[in-house]
Amino acid sequence: MASISEWYVTKLLAAAHKYDLPRLKLMCESVLCKHISIGSVAQILVISECYDATELKFICLQFSAENLNAVLKSDGFKHLKEKCPLLQFELLETVAAGIGCVSVDSDATTPEPNEIEAESTSYYPSSDEENHLGW
């Protein structure tokens, strides 16, 4: 994000967030989306988080997931890793979801003990089977 116009758009986004101007906020998000690159995506992702720009954040996460190798090598990602570990975690979740892995759900509930017992006992032979198998 080197140009002055991008700097002003970021300031406008901050004002739109502060004064609850959703239309201006969407316009700023749209402009910033057009400036996403390997070198700028981490910085724009942080901006999207600061100003609750959900569409912009989604686009940044998708772009990062699609260009993961290059993004991981960027200076912006190194900064993100050091200063914003939660955003790094969200990025990794997005990548995992994109390749068919199970996403970590922070709202997931812990299974009841009976559920765990039912699941775990199905993996072990019963005592009759143990005798038959020589265990």
CB atoms within 10 A of CB 84: 17
Q: Kindly report the CA angle at 47 between 80 and 35, in degrees rounded to 5?
A: 95
**Which sequence spans correspond to the domains of the chain?**
4-104
% of the chain at pLDDT higher than 90: 50
Amino acid code (one letter) for 28: C
CATH class of residue range 4-104: mainly alpha
| Weakest mean pLDDT among 7-11, 19-23, 61-65, 106-110 | 106-110
Tell me how far apart the alpha carbons of residues 98 and 92 are, in angstroms, rounded to a whole number.
10
Q: What is the pLDDT at residue 73? A: 92
Per residue in 40-92, pLDDT (tens digit) is: 999 999 999 999 999 999 999 999 999 999 999 999 988 888 889 898 889 88
Burial of 128 (0-12, 13-18, 19+ CB in 10 A): exposed
List all residues 6 or more positions away from 4 whose beta carbon is below 8 Å from its beta carbon: none
If one compares 133 and 55, the residue with the highest pLDDT of the two is: 55
